[in-house]
A = this chain, B = another copy of it.
Amino acid sequence: MSYFLLDDYANMEPYLPGEQPEGKWIKLNANESALPPSPAVLKILNEAEYEGMGFYSDPHCHKLRQAIGEVYGFDEKNVFVGNGADEVLAFCMMSFFRKGMKIAFPDITYDFYRTYATTYNLDFTQFPLNDDFTINVDDYVDYDGDVILANPNNPTGIAISVSEIERIVKKNPERMVIIDEAYVDYGNESCIPLVRKYDNLLVVQTFSKSRNMAGARIGFAIANEDMITDMNKIKFAFNPFNMSSLAIEAGAAAARDVDYWQKCIHQVCDVRDAFEKDLKKLGFDVINTTTNFTFITHPHFSATYLFKELKKRHILVRHYDTPRINNYLRITIGSFDVMLKVLYAIKEIVGEGYESPDQ
């Protein structure tokens, strides 16, 4: 720590990014996509962008905000964009949350909420998930502060319905509700349409999952115009030209190629369903996820053991050393071929003996 670091950050908990090993691995620990982005992105990369790189990107990011707005039926004034959903969330926090303000989120959810809340000294409450890992919506309806929820939740992969979210939003118009829909496209309903009815709802999405563009760092929020204007003002005071021309152009092209990313989603869901079916045959309890990952546990093999055995075989999955979920593994759905390899490895580890009797 330098002499100059503010003591405001005394409570900060270090953020641990997922393991990024060197060398050849099957990397299924960060819910990334093995599929390429829309071919329209390749065209952008190969063409106009190099020659004009000496000129600043558009600080308003009009082209990207327009493209996203069109896809969801909103004006660009309702769309904020940033370098990944994390930056969008950070600008939201920076605009609307100060030290001591109350915010609630589940005990088991995306780590970043807790990282942000401790670093910036928010007064946060973590409501425990139910025993089946579902969210107890009433906890949030009755809470006297703001709310942030990942829907579907991560790492459980379980979603709540839009009408349940509406109960939380509707109860108190002075409560801000942030819904992080990073995984919404894999078979869930988005609550973006609720933004038309409620001025206290901000919905965050990302290009890192269904658009196969985690490396390009693109995220967005849709909310009422005043909130988006506030966030843009804060962005303009913090880093006006936050997004590169490449991210703006490639993001706009990818957003508009809806057919392509819908096709990719179907592909991932098909592989996931087949993989989960096979896991069940091997005796795994599989949480009913609607995401690009699966969340599993086995009655006879500890998650720690399975994690280590997979790692020996150069397959990296996610294991959380956290109460209640430390016997679960989160496995990203890769390509059909990759998941066959993973299944083969798991069979080797748990043995064919766990094939269920009806097979």
| A residues lining the B interface (CB < 8 Å) | 1-6, 8-9, 12, 14-15, 17-18, 20, 27, 30, 32-37, 41-42, 45-46, 49-59, 82-84, 86-87, 90, 95-98, 112, 115-116, 119-120, 174, 176, 199-200, 208, 212-217, 224, 226-227, 229-230, 233-234, 236-247
Contacts and interface: CB of A to CB of B under 8 A. Distances in A.
B4 A233 contact: no
B4 A95 contact: yes
A272 to B, nearest CB: 15
A50 B57 contact: no
Contacts of A200: 3-4
Given A244-B247, A246-B244, A57 B2 contact: no
10 contacts: A1-B229, A3-B199, A30-B55, A45-B45, A56-B215, A83-B83, A83-B239, A216-B245, A244-B246, A244-B247
A215 B42 contact: no
A2 B233 CA distance: 12
Contacts of A212: 53-54
Nearest to A236: B15
B83 A54 contact: no
